[in-house]
Structure 1
Amino acid sequence: MNKTTRFDTREHLLDTGELLCLQRGFNGMGLIELLKQAEVPKGSFYYYFPSKEAFGVTMLERYFARYHQRLQAYLDDHQGNSRQRMLDYYRQSLSNCQESSFAGCLSVKLSAEVCDLSEAMRSALHAGSVALIATLKSTLDKAQQQETLSRDINSAACAQILYTLWLGASLQSKICRDDTPLQNACDEMTRILRQV
């Protein structure tokens, strides 16, 4: 098995697992179902992952790395107002949720499910969210330097609040299959990120 094939098989397993987790949750995704759906033999799974839990950790780490890369690229891809860029990011996320019919994100789907069952997966969720919050803080700091965001705002606390607000609104929108919680979150973010 060459390196490209090994990487492709591993990525294919992770892609398939992520889709199944979004549909059924981590505990609802059986290993046999994953292997059947991915058309990968059981031995190949254990070649890459020593356990289902290790698979879950890798899946979450990959998910957050991609999420973080998209967020960072979006926030960095401009010359202007960092405050507005952040608000635009969340408005775009709202639009994406509407288009996907609230299929949800992996962190929303798995957060409550796995935190008490797997310390390793809880740690992966925590590390992923910490990295995202740090990027939000950096953007808020930049907005304050640009004098488009009030310097009275504590950027570290505000970044945590924005992340938590969006996570909770995403969960509530998934529960009610309605975008109103996400719309309200976007409106509240505009209020929180008051201009100078």
Structure 2
Amino acid sequence: MTHSTKQRLIDAGLRMLLEHGYNDLGIQALLSDTDTPKGSFYHHFKDKEDFALQVVDAYMAQVHAGLDACLKDKERPPLARVRRFFELTQQAYREQGYMGCLLGGLGQELSGVSEAFRRKIEGCFAAIARRMAVCLEEARQKGEIRTDCDVRQLADLLVDCWEGAALRSRLRRNPASLNAMIDFYIRSVAAG
């Protein structure tokens, strides 16, 4: 199946934003990489910011699909579902050469200079945490985690810790930080 011009640009943009970040992403390099005329880019996107924000939306669609596949898998206990999501995410990072999380990279690069990116990325992290909190609540109800836990706080902490570990993984180009983080988190929240 042939991808539309817009989808080809978004797919290449995701890879290039992970590799180079926003400030070092040149529109001309993107156009050359996708063999796309300049006019086609501006037909689909108002400007570079609009393009990058749409790439974030496409990235989040992938994240939500992964969350659905893992967190709704009733064949696994809730904490195992949470772990599975992060294991699959780690696998994707490995396949991409440990480039890490697009949200974390763009958030670090742009949150201090762009209110649009700050709001967008914070909203994305909040959406992930909300989805995690639902699964953690199920874990609490099933006795997998302590009953006195604030699952929303645990979910926020999980996302925060993962993002820090993703950065360390990118710096080191290996999964050690990701493995240690998820192992520590699951042990820390587990009941008993």
Superposition TM-score, scaled by structure 2 size: 0.91
Q: Does 1:160 align with 2:161?
A: no
Q: Between the two proteins, what is the percent identity of the paired residues?
A: 29
Inter-partner Cα distance in structure 1 for 2:91 and 2:52: 28
Aligned residues of 1:75 and 1:82 also touching (Cα < 8 A): yes
Q: Which residue of 1 aligns with 2:4?
A: 8
RMSD of aligned residue pairs (Cα, Å): 2.0
**Structure 1 unaligned blocks of 5 or more:** none
Of 69, 79, 97, 2:93 maps to 97
Count of equivalent residues: 192
For structure 2, the 5+ residue unaligned runs are none
Amino acid of the structure 1 residue aligned with 2:173: R
User: How many Å apart are 1:87 and its aligned residue?
Assistant: 2.1
Question: What corresponds to 1:87 in structure 2?
Answer: 83
Residue in 1 that maps onto 2:120: 124
2:53 paired residue number: 57
Within the candidate set 35, 38, 42, 2:38 is matched to 42
Per-residue deviation, 1:13:
0.8
- How far apart are 1:51 and its partner, in Å? 0.8
| Contact 1:83-1:193 at 8 Å conserved across structures | no
* CA 1:97–1:42: 2 relative to 1, 3 Å: closer
CA spacing shift, 1:100–1:54, aligned 2, 3 Å: closer
Q: Establish whether residue 139 from structure 1 lines up as the match of residue 139 from structure 2.
A: no
Structure with larger RCO (C-alpha < 8 A, sep 6+): 1
Contact 2:79 2:186 in 1 (8 A): no
Which residue among 22, 28, 39 is the counterpart of 1:26? 22
Query: Is the CA contact (8 Å cut-off) linking 2:107 and 2:117 kept in structure 1?
Result: no
Give the superposition deviation at 1:96.
Answer: 4.0
Change (3 A) 1:95 1:49: closer
Provide closer, same or farther for how the CA distance between residues 38 and 100 of structure 1 changes in structure 2, counting only shifts above 3 A: closer
Select between 29-38 and 70-79 the one with higher mean Cα deviation: 70-79
Contact 2:140 2:147 survives alignment (8 Å): yes
Q: Paired residue for 1:78?
A: 74
Q: Does 1:176 align with 2:187?
A: no
1:68-89 Cα distance to aligned partner (Å, 9 max, x none): 2211221102234112221233
**CA 1:193–1:55 in structure 2 vs 1: closer, same or farther (change >3 Å)?**
same
1:95: how far off? 4.0
In terms of mean alpha carbon deviation, does 85-94 or 74-83 score higher? 85-94
How far apart in 2 are the matches of 1:161 and 1:51?
A: 34
- TM-score normalised per structure 1: 0.89
Change in 2 beyond 3 A, CA 1:115/1:181: same
**Residues 79, 178 of structure 1: CA spacing in aligned structure 2 closer, same or farther, 3 A cutoff?**
closer
